[in-house]
């Protein structure tokens, strides 16, 4: 049996899927590394999802794949976006010791999903800082980072696109492994139905 048409159909669908995934990766790059243009990232994301949903339906006549991608692509975009955000401080963060001028705490009662109709107390700690030029003036944390009058090592983004963090909490990013793993999974899921079609 001639498998040329199904394979061509699958190749086209995979190409469209790759473009959609590339568009979602582009969104993370635009938001955290590219030129700061308002609404450009969300518009690119919506176009990428639309391409990924419409493409399989038109090229491969795969409505089920389109429906699956309508669910999967936004989730993948969210994962890519988070991965890009996590890559900022390891990639270009500035680390320095900051003087802690003041520490204050604030507690609040929040709903606890693990207990029916239960609540739990959440305490946030605000450290007022004196950092070198360009550094943050304050830092929020779940636990006190240092006592008043002491110093704490802080990493911040010189472009101020992500929040500063204690230097000890900044680790290597899994950006590219995450992107490759999700991309390969999605492309495989779009290729198989097209390749198996018999007409």
Q: Among candidates 178, 168, 180, which has minimal Cα distance to 81?
A: 178
- Residue 53's alpha-carbon distances to 49, 65, 133, 182, in angstroms, are 6, 8, 47, 17
- Lowest mean pLDDT of 81-90, 107-116, 146-155, 160-169, name the range: 107-116
Torsion of CA 136, 80, 74, 15, to 10 degrees: 150
What is the Cα–Cα distance from 21 to 13, expressed in whole angstroms?
12
Q: Provide the residue ranges of all domains of the chain, joining segments of one domain with +.
A: 4-92+174-196, 94-168
Question: What is the DSSP code (8-state) at residue 72?
Answer: H
Name the pTM for this structure: 0.73
Contact indicator for 154, 166 with CB cutoff of 8 Å: yes
Answer whether residue 5 shows pLDDT above 80: no
Answer whether residue 118 shows pLDDT above 60: yes
């Amino acid at each position: 049996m001639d498998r040329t048409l199904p394979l061509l159909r699958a190749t086209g669908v995979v190409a469209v899927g790759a473009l959609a995934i590339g568009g979602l990766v582009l969104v993370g790059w635009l938001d955290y590394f590219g030129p700061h243009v308002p609404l450009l990232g969300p518009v690119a994301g919506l176009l990428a999802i639309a391409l990924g949903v419409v493409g399989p339906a038109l090229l491969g006549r795969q409505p089920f794949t389109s429906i699956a991608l309508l669910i999967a692509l936004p989730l993948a975009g969210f994962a890519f976006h988070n991965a890009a955000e996590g890559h900022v401080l390891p990639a270009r963060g500035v680390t320095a010791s900051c003087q802690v001028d003041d520490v204050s705490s604030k507690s609040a009662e929040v709903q606890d999903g693990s207990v029916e109709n239960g609540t739990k107390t959440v305490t946030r700690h605000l450290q007022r800082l004196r950092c070198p030029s360009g550094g943050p003036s304050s830092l929020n944390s779940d636990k006190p980072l240092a006592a008043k009058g002491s110093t704490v090592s802080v990493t911040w983004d010189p472009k101020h696109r992500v929040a500063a963090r204690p230097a000890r909490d900044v680790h290597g990013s899994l950006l590219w492994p995450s992107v490759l793993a999700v991309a390969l999974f999605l492309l495989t899921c779009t290729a198989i139905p097209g390749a198996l079609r018999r007409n």
